[in-house]
Amino acid sequence: MENTAAFVATARFGLGARPGEMKAAAGDPRGWLAEQLLDDRMPKEVINILPSFVPIVAREKAYKQGKMAAQAINKEQKKLYLHEAAARTRAQINSQVSFRERLVAFWSNHFTVSIRQKKIRGAVGAFECEAIRPHITGRFRDILGAVTAHPVMLTYLDNVASIGPNSAYGLRRNRGLNENLARELLELHTLGVDGGYGQGDVRALAGMLTGWSYASVSKAARSIGKPHAGTSHFDEGMHEPGSKTLLGKTYKWEGKREVDRALDTLSTHPATAHHIATKLARHFIADQPPLAVVARLYNIFLDSGGDLGVVTHALIDSPEAWAEPLTKIKSANEFIVSALRGLNIDITDKNLIKSLDFLAQMPFSAPSPAGWPDTADGWIGSEALMRRTDWAVFIAKSAREAVPLDLLNDTLGPVADTNLRSAVQRAPSTTEAVAMIIASPAFQRR
């Protein structure tokens, strides 16, 4: 079997090869990937997504106007969400730098927000553009801070409803802490479930986060200049007073600066380094990530102060990432995107959304703050395989001009075995040959 490095570059690090892409990567696969990290332009497909404060303000205004207005804004924001979901998926399909798009998807899943919280439905695409995309090769502290303070995350994990019980507002209204954001910050975003924190740390961090919300329309209207409606805002009157002890360290009462101090600590904590290293190795290499890779990324994360660009280059340079192709199962989204990249065909937004919905992975709709699963057991079952086969037949009917052997070579190349090649050559029609390739076990792996 010829060298598989070009396949690994395009399918494991990228989102599947477009025609000619595997050939372009073959000369220097690592360099081909590294060059993509330099291209930080916003994809044209998502560049006109509305800023998050627009749907946030529109929803607040509508709900103040009564039931009819609320129903109308829900319908409008569902439409906006579907537009954002299609635009984001098209950015993945059309990208010439699909390694970057995979990194965006990885970090967006790490810092999940989901339309299952209906209040944010019209702003999830904007959240990814504003809080994730600008930081995927920057410092982890920067992406952590951008995500934590973003109005969409503050709403999704209910920090907008978290009131310091001893704050001026809390004492007046007998309101208390909501621990959701603090808990997920520790368990999912930084230290990990085994990161050595306890319930006292959750409550301390929740106290530090009190007061962080977004400015309401009425509050913005009463002020001069700031705060701007729908943007992040700190309200001192809702913040829990007094010092807080997090992970054995006591932080003095500093109001809005307390969260910065906490994130400084969490972003460079050894448990965070291990958590991030493990997730990256699992996503890019194997469901059971090689311990040597985890250890290497862990050390580089700590030594670089959480520089994600440096960590990502170390991942590219890891020999283990190139050793065994086809160790990972594609998620439903990856399966659809890689097929459409390989076929190089255009389908309507309606059919794109129907495809994502049919295979049960609509963008920004993860079932919990933990995001979508990143191991095979989350994606491959008897029903899932049947649906993938049905979808392969559906999309093959839209690719009547495809040349099956070209598709096979462009997308699978050296990992397409002789049995698959022979079956494709014997297929009675182009449609059946294309469906056979897309539904094959090899195509569903990366």
Q: What DSSP string describes 265-325?
A: HHHT-HHHHHHHHHHHHHHHT-SS--HHHHHHHHHHHHHTTSBHHHHHHHHHT-THHHH-S
Whether the predicted pLDDT of 326 surpasses 60 = yes
pLDDT of amino acid 297:
98
Contact 206, 178 (CB under 8 A): yes
pLDDT of amino acid 227:
83
pLDDT tens per residue, range 359-381: 999 999 999 999 999 999 999 99
Contact 336, 391 (CB under 8 A): yes
Whether the predicted pLDDT of 2 surpasses 70 = no
pLDDT tens per residue, range 218-240: 888 787 777 889 999 999 999 99
Whether the predicted pLDDT of 143 surpasses 80 = yes
Contact 80, 359 (CB under 8 A): no
pLDDT tens per residue, range 282-311: 999 999 999 999 999 999 999 999 999 999
Q: Which residues contact 147 (CB under 8 A, 6 or more apart)?
A: 111, 131, 132, 153, 189
pLDDT tens per residue, range 149-186: 999 999 999 999 999 999 999 999 888 899 999 999 99
| Chain mean pLDDT for the chain | 96
Place of tokens 């989102």: 15
Which amino acid is residue 24, in one-letter code?
A: A
Whether the predicted pLDDT of 1 surpasses 50 = no
